Structure 1
Amino acid sequence: MHRLLLLSWVLLMSCFAAVSAQQITGKITDKEGVPMIGASVFVIGTTTGTVADIDGNFTLNVPENAKKLAVSYTGFSTQNIPLIAGQTAYQITLANDGIGLDEVIVVGYSPVRRKDLVGAVASIASEDITRESGATVQSALRQAPGVVVQQSSGAPGSGFNVRVRGVTSVNADNEPLFVVDGVPVIAGSFAQQGVGGQSSNALADINPADIESMEILKDASTTAIYGSRAANGVVLITTKSGKAGKTKISLNSSYGFNEVINKVDVVDGTQYNQYLRERFGAGGDVIGGGGLDTTVSSNWQDLIFDRNPVQSHQLSMSGGDLKTKFYASLGYDNENGALNGTNFTRYSGRVNLDHRATDKLGVNFNLSYTNSDNKRIQGDNNIYGAVSAALLLPPQVPVRREDGSYGSVFGLENPVAATEVYDNHLVTNRIIGNISASYSLLDELSLKVKLGVDNLNLRENVFEPSSLQSTAQGLIFEASNLRTRIINEYLATYTDQFGSTSLSTTVGAIYQRDDIRRNSFETNDLPSDNFPSADAAATPAFTSGDKFGSTLNSYIFSANVNNGGLYVTASFRADGSSRFINNRWGYFPGIAAGYNFANLNPVGPFDLLKARVSYGQTGNNNIGDFEARPLFAGGASYLTTPGISQSQLGNPDLVWETTNQINVGLDMALAENRIGITLDFYQKNTSDLILNRPIPSSSGFGQVIANVGSMQNTGIEAAVTFETFNNADFSWTTQLSAAYNKNEVTELFNDQPQDFGFATRLAVGQPVGSFFGLETDGIYQNQAAIDADNSLSEDRDYIPGAAPGDFRFVDQDGNGIINDDDRTFIGQALPDVTAGIDNKLTYKGLELDFFLQFSLGNDVYNNNLAFAEGLNGVFAPTVRAFEGAWRQEGDGNMFPRIVGGASAENNRQDSDRLVEDGSFMRLKTINLAYSFEDGLIDRIGLQSLRLFVRGTNLVTVTDYSFFDPEVNSFGNSNVALGTDFLTLPISKSVVFGVNVGF
């Protein structure tokens, strides 16, 4: 009897065990019946899962309480498959997700499907990030609508100006916040030795090959959760992670060349000699004090620009199982600029681990290390710069004199010397990483804690030998800049389903601390160039050092509700910053709602028809750590007694710059999700601009920082993505994007304009980056025209000293005199419209993609013309200016006469003569690749083999007359935009490469 009972119990338990761990099988294909190799299959609500094999088949033991499977594959819509009692075999067909509606992206601190978004978010995938040669994080952002990316210099590793939906600040930062794997990273230019307007780029330390995707958060409902640093948008960077399955090893290697995008046609030796005689008469032959040699004709641009190599090598390994996944990589990049002597070298390494210790506990670890060396050359806006001298130095100067020294004249640097002997290295060692742990208290409630760090250690080493014009007996400059950022995050997330309504909420506390230490010194007068060390110098020029930092304490809340076709999201952040005194806390709310009219039933031809509206408030605290505080400095010595003095007035009532933004959008999908259309309208109003306000000089200071301004940005963005073809052999996807933005300054202190840069003026009613000067009305062709103008005034000449061949200026106030009161706005640096056309085509193993970039309606203040086409001094002019100079009546209205004195100064005044249309169309990237068939590469033991050739900046169509319209001599200035003064242009490149998978 006991044996019978025991046997019965064993049989019963076996039945329960069979029920609690039922085995199912299945096959996953697309609509064409092609197996989905590696498709993921997970039991919803558990960590149980597997991947499909080479035939698309899978086998899985599912728990007793399992109700649904989630089946996903890159490029296809995720499907939830109900588990039917008694059914053990499943045939699953995945539908193509042509425009990525089922793609899951991270917005703020929560993942969300793209089809559920109610904010304005643009995404860039990994293959699009690395499609550009010499790519950096910022360079890929120009593919997103509403994002203007300007590379201020063509030097490798140099800075970018990135503007998301316009300019929002004058004194604070206008760059978006960059967040890498949840860590807001340090960005900006931290070089302490200036080389003209060229800035350095801290984000060049991030290896683009390690990035899986980038999301650009543009509206305030998505950025408000980042609070006081989000007024300029947020860029979320997610690095690559491992996937369950066989370990994959990839080697990506490329080699190619950079060369200058354009050259400027300047006079040769014979033409320069003729120019000197016209300008100075018979005495022109002896101009230069013996520095000129009429027997030579140096083509300086050919001597400093060359076709220089660029190479990149990346090795990565990824894999894992359902519990532990890993990704590891090593990278080496070496880019020589088109300008000889410029170079950027980067060594990088990364390890990402994701471990599921138990069903409730998960641990994540991300760590990257970068060592970079940026070799810089004296840049623009600088008479010692290589490009500056190559344009202005006469061709009759020899490269080297008979004694071996570098030839020079008029105090200009020898361009070849600037590239050969000037030694400036900017060396960075950087660690970015985070470690986090998440624990599920309940199925609906999880806790997460994260520790993040960004440690940037930068060193500068500069040696200027005595053979350069910039120093008489040699110069040594050395500096260090150590920046450390620590982030602590504590988050709790609750997710639940109430009938057809899903709810996800997150609350958390975040603490950030930044510590900065800088030191620098300069010494002069070396005994010889063979002693390039500080202790050998006779004269210490200066020493400098400081230590400072800031803290930011934050509390966040977000909630996402999905009820059928209705989506609502709300967020709130409170930030407390040490940078303010009486107004330390700022509060930043955001809310958005959307409704998908095609959620239950298609509406006409639409698979998706979602209307969206959002509103939010963000801040900008990217000012100096002590801007609000009174400061004192040493150096105020009395005889031999050291002392201090006040160096800055404080303002304890300083508050945040605040931006309020409203966004109205519409998302549409048609033709089985093969066509996607996104439209957005926005308005951003920024108040409490932090500017310097004039104060009575009796205070001992001329200005004090205060909240005294406001501005507005209004714009429209549109993006259309469609799959023209998509079958087993041929696919063609096109994306069209365009954005219009209007910027306007709406308030300044007493509405008084402020001048920046050359002809840049900040004024109420005008956009930031407006040019201000005289308006020309042709060239005086005869004396009668001059006499007619002079008759308009009895007090003085219309233009004092004017003669035939000089510019005529418009008398704006009609008083018969040309003076500063006749200046007016003559152009703007910000484009009216930016656009892009992206095409991707595949035919069997052949791939072709190309991206066309457009910038329309922007002007460039071409200050080169005042020197290279001033026709008044000793600088070498351009060929077109020399040949087109006014010499007799009827010669035209473009170039004035060759003359000195007062007339020449009139002809070189800030005027619309120096403003040119900077609109352009550029073939930004083009890639051609071939992937070999599996059957062929299997024979040699490879998983994949792909050959490619890549071109960057190959074609530029523009009316701009100098090197490049995409320039800015003032680096990362907020307001002095679109000014070109002897700026190094960007490079065009062609590289050849191979991708190998093992």
Structure 2
Amino acid sequence: MKSFKLIVWVLLLGSFSALQAQQAITGTVVDESGVGLIGATILVDNTTTGTVTDIDGNFELETPAGATGLTVSYTGFTTQRVRLTVGQTVYDIVLAEDGIGLDEVVVVGYSPVRRKDLTGAVSSISTKDVNAEAGATVQGALRQAAGVVVQQSNGAPGAGYNIRVRGVTSINASNEPLFVVDGVPVISGDFSQQGVGGQGTNALADINPADIESMEVLKDASTTAIYGSRAANGVVLITTKSGKSGKTKINFNSSYGFNELPNTIDVVDGATYNDYLGELFGRTANFFGMDSTVSSNWQDLIFASNPLTSQQLSISGGDVKTKFYGSLGYDDNQGALNGTRFKRYSGRLNLDHTASDKLALNMNLGYTNSDNKRIQGDNNIYGAVSAAILLPPTVPVRNEDGTYGSAFGLENPVAATEVYDNHAQTNRIIGNASATFFPIDAIALKAKLGVDNVNYRENVFEPSSLQSTSQGQIVESSNVRTRIISEYTATYNGSVGAFKLNSTVGAIFQRDDVRRNYFETNDLPSDNFPSADAAASPATVSGDKFGSTLQSYIGTVNVNNGGLYVTASFRADGSSRFVNNRWGYFPGIAAGYDLASSEKVGPFEQLKLRASYGQTGNNNIGDFQTRPLFAGGASYLTTPGISQSQLGNPDLVWETTTQFNAGLDIALLTNRIGASFDFYVKNTDDLILNRPIPTTSGFGTVVSNVGSMRNTGVEASLTFVNVQQPDFTWNTTLTGAFNKNEVTALFDDQPQDFGFATRLAVGQPVGSFFGLVTDGIYQNQAEIDADNALNDDRDYIVGAGPGDFRFVDQNDDGIINDDDRTFIGQALPDFTGGVNNKLAYKGLELDFFFQFSFGNDVYNNNLGFAEGLNSVFAPTVRSYEGAWRMEGDGDDFPRIVGGAPSDNNRQDSDRYVEDGSFVRLKTATLAYNLPRSVLDPAGIDRLRIFVSGTNLVTWTDYSWFDPEVNAFGDSNVALGTDFLTLPISRTVEFGINLGF
């Protein structure tokens, strides 16, 4: 009997002990205003046991034996540790907002890392900031990142961008960062084969910003080295939205707005132009076949307030095992220039499925169909903007017979917008599928297949009513590009003693295939027959097929023990683009130490010092530059033939960028203030350039490694939680960056000229302007005679007269010629950045972002044509009224004179160089969120009404349309040049965000 009682007591004690060891708990996770947080993660410390909250923020959890605490985390909130108390079964947890994002998880290379654990230089951009710009593509949001210069080359919808992360690193290869969407390095660039001036198309316009969850910009070598030969210009990681377990959520976003031109150029009217011709030639407009009584305001005729709209529908949700996100989108952006339009249809499906405790499956798939309607642009006498400035106002829009009016071979601007028909259409698929196997909790084996397929087509019809063709022209081209990536990685995430360890090794295989075709035919019997088979002239046909492969092996390791952080990575890339130097090796290492990791140091929650060093490459040089090439078309009579078209260089090596970075991260006053400071030095060696060779070889140049470049800079990012109250919050983020670029070596240190007045030279930054220096205007003949007296053999400046520019004789030889040219400005800014404010009061939100750029010059080549005062082009009002006519008239504008003597006033000089510094109210949004008391009875989860604007106000001393555009598109070296370029539009839109 005693034995039986003993057994009963043992069982009871064991049961009690088991109850004590394993306990069911419940609770809620809410924000500081009491709103439940759906999808918050609750993890039992030192275990893999955990759960997530439901739609109302509730959770249930069985805690295992020995559990002492919980770690509760949620994106945008400070992670909190909750101590478990014996006997307590209900826990109500309040998370505070993480004002500076220390606990935010960012993706770096192949590993997710908490921001507070970073050792490299990384900037993050949230989904809200990605979508702040109306009608924009993904690149626009990069302005929010310190050290990233984003220049939209012109204002056409869907136009290209010029993006530089920490300066210019290459001359011939691309300077664009590598864009990676859900782990797939995507194809970027301009696919167009039909030139319309300096404009380009933008392959990344195919990505719908509404589907983006976050963007990370990797800037230093320790974070980018894992991408090896494509990472010298930085890396932009784009993560699209995914589903969360809980109630299915439906969101509908709709907006409508308009684009308009911020300002116009004040050009003379018809009567004034007639007077101008009288001064220039002594003849009126009627002499040239124009009507002096006509006054066409061309800018008013081609610019308008045109609409844009965006409709986005998404559905997301799931349970513990399967999560999904799906979306449909439609965007229609009609530019301020009539006839320009970009339409995009998009769809996305992202799935995450946990098949078992050992196997997880994932798929991300996006499809886009876009149509970009383009208009002839800058660098082009047939461009609408060009003609709207230069075509005389005395030309009628239409002649009496109904044809479009024109003069001097310039296009009629209205015709350029109405009948020029150019459509660039794209069908694109970007996606990947992966399977992850967990043999044990700490190890993940992953296989992934990714694809980026671009099918780009251009269809162009130029009717005979245009000046660019006499009897009509048809152009059709296609550009099909396919990238397939297979990736195999093994990841260990665990602990070794007191150290947390995360490491990844893997192999990656990439194949790119390109097929291009081009077809052009001319001389149609009528504009009513826009068909290729109706053309009289033989067709011009060309095409090619090529591709490349990249084989890579990677390894990365992250170690930390709470305060000391060490990261190392390595990538080996083998590219088919090289012959004798096919493999490149790219290491990166970084270390950081947080002085406030174990206990608070004064007011600091974080005081982390970090440093990194590494190498990255640039292999974006074309698939066959290392090889000798032969081409067809070398026919003799009727016998076909081939000839060598390119010399090869099998010894070509990678462009390699070596970068050192030192940084400091701080957080203080209970994470109310956060800041990051970085100093870097980037040296790029083995620049791939065309080296001159003796023409006896049959060629003038051969591609070689003959140059180097350096970028040195400082970056700062500061975040202030100014106010954090239940009803009112106000956060401010300031970013600023200083960068100095210098070309340190070229072949034989010989300079090279590009564009209108751009010179590439050792000791100067890329984008430097080179020309004569002006010294006022000659006011009388005596001043000219005095200068000519300095040289007995030749005039100081040939043909100069009173009212012409005087130029500085730099070498004091008594003659003004090309030897007197010098560096007169630079396109790259000294200091860039922005100020972003986010305010919320109860249901009201106000966000506004100021962008600034200081120290950059613009070469305003418009002045030589619209203010040259020596040709039939219509002049600006200010130049005509301010023209030099008598002694003492000033030094701003030269005399009105035609013929050869006036060429003196058209020479490349500092007359065209203007300060391009600006401050711009880039975006502003005012929104109202309806309260829960109104929404809950209607079964609505969220209803937000907003009005927003983009490019609202610009403060600048630049005299033309816009200081940010570039007539040479995405050129690496011909930067900051404006030549009759379409400016960036001002946009205002109204919309709603509706959620169920």
TM range (shorter): over 0.9
Query: Secondary structure at 2:538's aligned position in 1?
Result: strand
Query: Secondary structure at 2:193's aligned position in 1?
Result: coil
Query: Secondary structure at 1:510's aligned position in 2?
Result: strand
Instruction: Tell me the equivalent position of 2:496.
Output: 498
* Aligned ranges 1:217-232 → 2 under 5 Å: 217-232=218-233
Instruction: Tell me the equivalent position of 1:482.
Output: 480
Would you say 1:548 and 2:546 are equivalent positions? yes
Instruction: Tell me the equivalent position of 2:747.
Output: 749
Letter in 2 for 1:533: S
TM-superposition CA deviations, 1:820-841 (whole Å, max 9, x none): 0000001100001002011110
Evaluate the alpha carbon distance shift between residue 6 and residue 379 of structure 1 in structure 2; reply closer, same or farther with a 3 A threshold.
farther
64-73 or 664-673, which moves further after superposition?
A: 64-73
TM-score, L = length of structure 2: 0.97
Instruction: Tell me the equivalent position of 1:114.
Output: 115
Evaluate the alpha carbon distance shift between residue 963 and residue 501 of structure 1 in structure 2; reply closer, same or farther with a 3 A threshold.
same
* Aligned ranges 1:632-647 → 2 under 5 Å: 632-647=630-645
Q: CA deviation at 1:294?
A: 1.4
Letter in 2 for 1:880: R
Letter in 1 for 2:53: V
* Aligned ranges 1:875-886 → 2 under 5 Å: 875-886=873-884
Q: CA deviation at 1:12?
A: 10
Instruction: Tell me the equivalent position of 2:935.
Output: 937
Evaluate the alpha carbon distance shift between residue 195 and residue 6 of structure 1 in structure 2; reply closer, same or farther with a 3 A threshold.
farther
Instruction: Tell me the equivalent position of 1:768.
Output: 766
TM-superposition CA deviations, 1:161-214 (whole Å, max 9, x none): 000000000000000000000000000000100000000000000000000000
Between the aligned partners of 2:962 and 2:434, the Cα distance in structure 1 is 46
Contact 1:771–1:826 (CA under 8 A) maintained in structure 2: yes
Q: CA deviation at 1:501?
A: 1.3
Letter in 2 for 1:975: V
* Aligned ranges 1:201-212 → 2 under 5 Å: 201-212=202-213
Contact 2:286–2:292 (CA under 8 A) maintained in structure 1: no
Contact 1:47–1:359 (CA under 8 A) maintained in structure 2: no
Letter in 1 for 2:130: I
Between the aligned partners of 1:946 and 1:20, the Cα distance in structure 2 is 47
TM-superposition CA deviations, 1:69-96 (whole Å, max 9, x none): 3312232112244545654333434333
839-848 or 780-789, which moves further after superposition?
A: 780-789
Contact 1:708–1:748 (CA under 8 A) maintained in structure 2: yes
* Aligned ranges 1:653-732 → 2 under 5 Å: 653-732=651-730
Between the aligned partners of 2:705 and 2:507, the Cα distance in structure 1 is 29
Q: CA deviation at 1:52?
A: 5.2
Contact 2:271–2:293 (CA under 8 A) maintained in structure 1: no
Query: Secondary structure at 2:138's aligned position in 1?
Result: coil
Evaluate the alpha carbon distance shift between residue 91 and residue 499 of structure 1 in structure 2; reply closer, same or farther with a 3 A threshold.
farther
Instruction: Tell me the equivalent position of 2:790.
Output: 792
Would you say 1:595 and 2:593 are equivalent positions? yes
Q: Percent identity?
A: 74
Evaluate the alpha carbon distance shift between residue 85 and residue 488 of structure 1 in structure 2; reply closer, same or farther with a 3 A threshold.
farther
Between the aligned partners of 1:280 and 1:322, the Cα distance in structure 2 is 83
TM-superposition CA deviations, 1:743-793 (whole Å, max 9, x none): 000000000000011100000000000000000000001111111111111
Instruction: Tell me the equivalent position of 2:161.
Output: 160
83-92 or 377-386, which moves further after superposition?
A: 83-92
Would you say 1:954 and 2:956 are equivalent positions? no
Letter in 2 for 1:219: D
Instruction: Tell me the equivalent position of 1:568.
Output: 566
Contact 2:51–2:59 (CA under 8 A) maintained in structure 1: no
TM-superposition CA deviations, 1:899-947 (whole Å, max 9, x none): 1223211100000001111111100000000000011012222111110
Would you say 1:50 and 2:52 are equivalent positions? yes
Instruction: Tell me the equivalent position of 1:124.
Output: 125
Q: CA deviation at 1:57?
A: 4.2
Q: 2:362 aligns with which of 361, 364, 368?
A: 364
Instruction: Tell me the equivalent position of 1:509.
Output: 507
Q: CA deviation at 1:29?
A: 4.4
Query: Secondary structure at 1:76's aligned position in 2?
Result: coil
* Aligned ranges 1:10-159 → 2 under 5 Å: 22-30=23-31, 36=37, 39-43=40-44, 45-46=47-48, 48-51=50-53, 54=56, 56-64=57-65, 68-83=69-84, 87-159=88-160
Query: Secondary structure at 2:79's aligned position in 1?
Result: strand
Query: Secondary structure at 1:540's aligned position in 2?
Result: coil
Q: CA deviation at 1:360?
A: 1.7
Q: CA deviation at 1:9?
A: 12
Instruction: Tell me the equivalent position of 1:438.
Output: 436
Instruction: Tell me the equivalent position of 2:319.
Output: 321
TM-superposition CA deviations, 1:852-881 (whole Å, max 9, x none): 010101111111111000100100000000
Query: Secondary structure at 1:77's aligned position in 2?
Result: coil
Evaluate the alpha carbon distance shift between residue 122 and residue 469 of structure 1 in structure 2; reply closer, same or farther with a 3 A threshold.
same
Contact 2:595–2:606 (CA under 8 A) maintained in structure 1: yes
Would you say 1:255 and 2:253 are equivalent positions? no
Between the aligned partners of 2:53 and 2:975, the Cα distance in structure 1 is 52
Between the aligned partners of 2:52 and 2:627, the Cα distance in structure 1 is 59
Letter in 2 for 1:373: D
Letter in 1 for 2:48: T
Instruction: Tell me the equivalent position of 1:865.
Output: 863
* TM superposition outliers: structure 1 runs of 4+ over 4 Å: 3-21, 29-38, 63-68, 82-87
Evaluate the alpha carbon distance shift between residue 92 and residue 568 of structure 1 in structure 2; reply closer, same or farther with a 3 A threshold.
same
Between the aligned partners of 2:287 and 2:818, the Cα distance in structure 1 is 34
Between the aligned partners of 2:708 and 2:224, the Cα distance in structure 1 is 20
Instruction: Tell me the equivalent position of 1:414.
Output: 412
Would you say 1:912 and 2:910 are equivalent positions? yes
Query: What RMSD, in angstroms, separates the aligned Cα atoms of the two structures?
Result: 1.9
TM-superposition CA deviations, 1:140-174 (whole Å, max 9, x none): 10111100000001000010000000000000000
Instruction: Tell me the equivalent position of 1:992.
Output: 990
Letter in 2 for 1:639: L
539-548 or 988-997, which moves further after superposition?
A: 539-548
Would you say 1:388 and 2:372 are equivalent positions? no
Q: CA deviation at 1:32?
A: 6.8
Evaluate the alpha carbon distance shift between residue 287 and residue 667 of structure 1 in structure 2; reply closer, same or farther with a 3 A threshold.
farther
Query: Secondary structure at 2:616's aligned position in 1?
Result: strand
Between the aligned partners of 1:293 and 1:896, the Cα distance in structure 2 is 27
Between the aligned partners of 1:943 and 1:33, the Cα distance in structure 2 is 16
Contact 2:22–2:65 (CA under 8 A) maintained in structure 1: yes
Q: CA deviation at 1:4?
A: 13
Between the aligned partners of 1:31 and 1:194, the Cα distance in structure 2 is 56
Contact 1:574–1:587 (CA under 8 A) maintained in structure 2: yes
Would you say 1:265 and 2:263 are equivalent positions? no
Between the aligned partners of 2:932 and 2:621, the Cα distance in structure 1 is 55
Between the aligned partners of 1:10 and 1:252, the Cα distance in structure 2 is 61
Letter in 2 for 1:255: Y
TM-superposition CA deviations, 1:798-821 (whole Å, max 9, x none): 111111100000000011110000
Contact 1:28–1:52 (CA under 8 A) maintained in structure 2: no
41-50 or 983-992, which moves further after superposition?
A: 41-50
Instruction: Tell me the equivalent position of 2:619.
Output: 621
Letter in 2 for 1:860: V
Q: CA deviation at 1:285?
A: 4.2
Between the aligned partners of 1:592 and 1:395, the Cα distance in structure 2 is 63
Between the aligned partners of 1:218 and 1:37, the Cα distance in structure 2 is 33
937-946 or 689-698, which moves further after superposition?
A: 937-946
Q: CA deviation at 1:351?
A: 0.4
Query: Secondary structure at 1:98's aligned position in 2?
Result: coil
74-83 or 698-707, which moves further after superposition?
A: 74-83
Q: CA deviation at 1:495?
A: 1.8
Between the aligned partners of 1:213 and 1:79, the Cα distance in structure 2 is 23
Contact 1:928–1:949 (CA under 8 A) maintained in structure 2: yes
* Aligned ranges 1:213-362 → 2 under 5 Å: 213-281=214-282, 283-288=283-288, 290=289, 292-362=290-360
Between the aligned partners of 1:797 and 1:882, the Cα distance in structure 2 is 29
Letter in 1 for 2:500: S
Between the aligned partners of 1:262 and 1:217, the Cα distance in structure 2 is 37
Query: Secondary structure at 1:939's aligned position in 2?
Result: helix
